[in-house]
Structure 1
Amino acid sequence: MQTQPEQPPADHAQHPLRQLLNDEFHSRPAPPLVAPALVSRLVFTHDAAALAGESRRLDDAAGRTGLSRLSGSANAILFAGAGFILRWERHTEFSSYTVSCSPTTAGATAATASALDLLPRECLQGIPGQLIVATHVELRAAAEVSPQSVTANLSPTGRQMVAAQVADQAAWVFTDFMLDQGATRFLVLDRSLTPRQAGRTVQRLLEIETYRLLALLALPVAREIGGWMHDAEEELATMVDHIGEASSPADESRVLGELTRLAAKVEHSLARTNFRFAAARAYHELVMQRISELRETRVSGCPTFHEIMQRRLLPAMQTCKAMAGRQDELSDRLARTSQLLRTRVDVEVERQNQELLTQMNRRAHLQLRLQETVEGLSVVAITYYASQLVHYLAKGGAHLLPQISPELATAASIPLIAACAMLGIRRLRKRLQQRENAAP
């Protein structure tokens, strides 16, 4: 007895993005193709502000031209027309329009025939953004067009042809990556591809061309920042010399102002180029991954896709990588220079604080000496006034003891009063010192 698969309980809370994420996973399958076939792709760069109405504009154009919508999601829509299929896809910074048909439907056998000839002009009007990639792929059976006939027409002095056997030698691929009437062209000769294999092979070729040009968008940026980066590095080296030669706070303040200005310029450049360089690395990795998925085998006399990318795309990517690294290193050097200047200022502040503490210690010493002097004068003053009291007492007691002279009594009391006053002051100072030492 066959059991039904267990369904998830209906009372479980569903993640709001579950269906969207699952649809996104299946939104870009490679359509099956059977030779002969023509496939064309247009890729447009755009900004976020232009994304909102792109799918709606395409739906309106499809409705006016009689295209039927087969399937669709937020980022991919499939339309069917009279003998052709149109697929629209939206990516992070570009959107693509891919048209596929058979050559007989296109009604032309010329070398310049493409699937775009069937697409109504209304579908291509008002597309936001700028055209960055235009690619035509011609899929033919090897029995119809032999690979030897293609390689025999290659000229040593003509365009360099890139060729390879792909999909474990189930097909041949030819291209020169040159713009021919505004588009690059690929020729795929099907020897034993299944429809799914043919669709995946064509899709990989389209993605290689798309990601190749998108990766190269970072090269002009790298050349632009390379123009001023050398001057910035020289300026930073001069600032380091000025820090060592600074002899006053005014010199340090001037260097700090120049350092802040240069740091702001570098951080602005980092913020402006980080995304472009990171995207270039990602696109380059996708190009090399798609080439690896082709499983190519060398065709005698022609470079493979991997070789041509290593020879022509990799140096540009290494340039971008080097410029991104120089920017990061320059930012780090600016941070270290700022720390050096801050350390110099901190040392100068500590030196000034030490001088201030030395002056305060000297003043405290002077105050202590002055206090000791005042204490000596206080002993004299106390002795004087106390001896006057004794003198008055002795004069008053002269009637009782006439033999004691008031002057002698006053003179005799002065040493005793002075000694008592001195001992009292010293004892009081000692007690205050003990309290101060005991305080936390």
Structure 2
Amino acid sequence: MAGRAPPGAPEPTARMNLPVRPAQHPQRALLHNEIHARPPEALSAPLAIAHIVMLTDAAGREASRAHVAALLRDHHMAPPDAQTTHLRTDLGAFRLRWELHTEFVSWTFSVPLQDAGFGERAPPSAIDAVPRDWLAALPGQCLCSLNLWVLPTSRFGSGSLVGHVLHEDTLVASTVADGHGEVYTDFAIHADGFSRMVLLTGGMTPRRLGRLVQRLLEIETYRMAALLGLPAAREAASVLASAERELAELAEAIRSANRDAEPVLLDRLTRLAGQVESQYAATHSRFSASSAYFELLDRRIQDIAESRLAGLQTIREFMDRRLTPARSTCEWAARRQDALSQRVSRMSNLLRTRVEIEQQQSSQALLATMNQRQDLQLKLQSTVEGLSVAAITYYIVGLVSYLAKGAQGLGWPLSPETTAAIAIPVVAAGVWWSLRRLHQRMFHRA
């Protein structure tokens, strides 16, 4: 029948209900899922967590991917693909959380905690459940290692934590999560190479507890990452001091230098500028990264919503007191580098301007000398013009004389000598007028 769709073709109604999809950006899915990257896990107390941060380069980060793949293969699990930057998995004896960052790789291991006797003897660590040979081969250099124990508040108080777990003389503590938990730490590296933190939880939901734990781990991670700029700042201080002394000497030398010494001073200043810019390029990225990590640290401390416990300083107070000098040192080194670079640039511009002015003066003197020579040449040319008129007149009159001799046979009434005598003033005047006209045209064009 007319108007009927051929067999196998979709019905018109079905075609109208198909969604219209415009051309998709190739990175749309990746960018959309970025807000879901590294989500916190739902956790329940009691729990022992070991957090290790390994500082690596690009090759080390790829080696970390291969290292976690080897662990997963040993447990008969699929390895991560080349685009995976974070991984959470249950390996039976422990849970693993692996995160790939720009400068480091974080490994977080967690196990349920048998809390009997906690605070009376050395507490167990989640790292004990990890294969020792595999753990010893982690790629990179350890920047941070933290043992975090998550315990229910109903069975533990702060008194049992001091002595066997944390150092009492450096104890830092506060209530967190708007009073729903308490966190204790001493910011010290203990005999096992790990720093320690204890979190007592109240009535928090597993997801809120997971977010709190992640922020506490990030506080320790970003604190150490931010401090990577401190050695660079201290090393830069000696180089900057030497460069500033040399710049001061150059400024004094430039002030009293003569023309012959300026090329040598300009060469020294150029070398100093290269040294300053080389150090700036070597440390600028480190100082910028430290500044970013300090900002992340401030945000994570703000996120845990802490308040004071009686007689103890909070994490924010401790960080403000102990990290402010390091942060100021990094910021001061960065500002000092910028200021020195600008001073060297200004001094270079000043010296170059001075050299250019002297070169312009030399050029003007050279042009004046050339003008004098040109005037002399014109005067000599004017002197020679008389001789040129006489010479040209002599040759032309000679030709006229020859013409007069030939014209006598045709009836020319004057003798050749008389004709030549008459032609001399006429030819001389014509030659002189022609040369003057030629000079006027040339000078007018110029």
TM over 0.5: yes
Say yes or no: does 1:207 pair with 2:218. Answer: yes
Counterpart CA distance in 1 for 2:247 and 2:437 is: 66
What do residues 394-434 of structure 1 show as CA deviations (whole Å, max 9, x unaligned)?
A: 9x99xx999x9x89x99998777766654454344334433
The equivalent residue for 2:13 is: none
What TM-score comes out, normalization by structure 2 length? 0.82
Contact 1:68–1:79 under 8 Å retained in 2: no
The equivalent residue for 1:352 is: 362
Contact 1:68–1:81 under 8 Å retained in 2: no
Matched position secondary structure for 2:155: coil
The equivalent residue for 1:95 is: 105
Counterpart CA distance in 1 for 2:294 and 2:132 is: 33
Say yes or no: does 1:332 pair with 2:342. Answer: yes
Name which of 299, 302, 317 aligns with 1:292: 302
- Cα displacement (A) at 1:63: 3.4
What do residues 188-237 of structure 1 show as CA deviations (whole Å, max 9, x unaligned)?
A: 11122221121111111110001101111110111011112111111112
Contact 1:173–1:188 under 8 Å retained in 2: yes
What do residues 23-64 of structure 1 show as CA deviations (whole Å, max 9, x unaligned)?
A: 544231111222222211011111111222322322322433
The equivalent residue for 1:262 is: 272
The equivalent residue for 2:236 is: 225
Counterpart CA distance in 1 for 2:68 and 2:132 is: 12
Contact 1:85–1:99 under 8 Å retained in 2: yes
The equivalent residue for 1:63 is: 73
Name which of 204, 222, 226 aligns with 1:193: 204
TM alignment of 1:14-413, pairs within 5 A: 14-64=24-74, 66=75, 74-104=84-114, 110-147=121-158, 149=159, 159-181=169-191, 182-249=193-260, 251-381=261-391
Contact 1:175–1:187 under 8 Å retained in 2: yes
Check 1:224–1:401 CA distance in 2 against 1; reply closer, same or farther (3 A cut): closer
What TM-score comes out, normalization by structure 1 length? 0.83
Check 1:142–1:371 CA distance in 2 against 1; reply closer, same or farther (3 A cut): same
Check 1:8–1:291 CA distance in 2 against 1; reply closer, same or farther (3 A cut): farther
The equivalent residue for 2:436 is: 426
Aligned length: 420
Q: Percent identity?
A: 40
Matched position secondary structure for 1:30: coil
Matched position secondary structure for 1:244: helix
| C-alpha RMSD of matched pairs (Å) | 3.6
2:298 maps to amino acid: M
Counterpart CA distance in 2 for 1:417 and 1:79 is: 115
Counterpart CA distance in 1 for 2:149 and 2:102 is: 28
Matched position secondary structure for 1:178: strand
What do residues 218-266 of structure 1 show as CA deviations (whole Å, max 9, x unaligned)?
A: 10111011112111111112122333333244x2232232223222222
- Cα displacement (A) at 1:370: 1.0
Counterpart CA distance in 1 for 2:92 and 2:420 is: 138
- Cα displacement (A) at 1:10: 7.4
Check 1:280–1:359 CA distance in 2 against 1; reply closer, same or farther (3 A cut): same
Counterpart CA distance in 1 for 2:253 and 2:389 is: 61
1:16 maps to amino acid: P
The equivalent residue for 1:3 is: none
1:112 maps to amino acid: P
2:235 maps to amino acid: E
Query: Where in structure 2 are there 5+ consecutive unaligned residues?
Result: 1-15
Counterpart CA distance in 2 for 1:387 and 1:24 is: 103
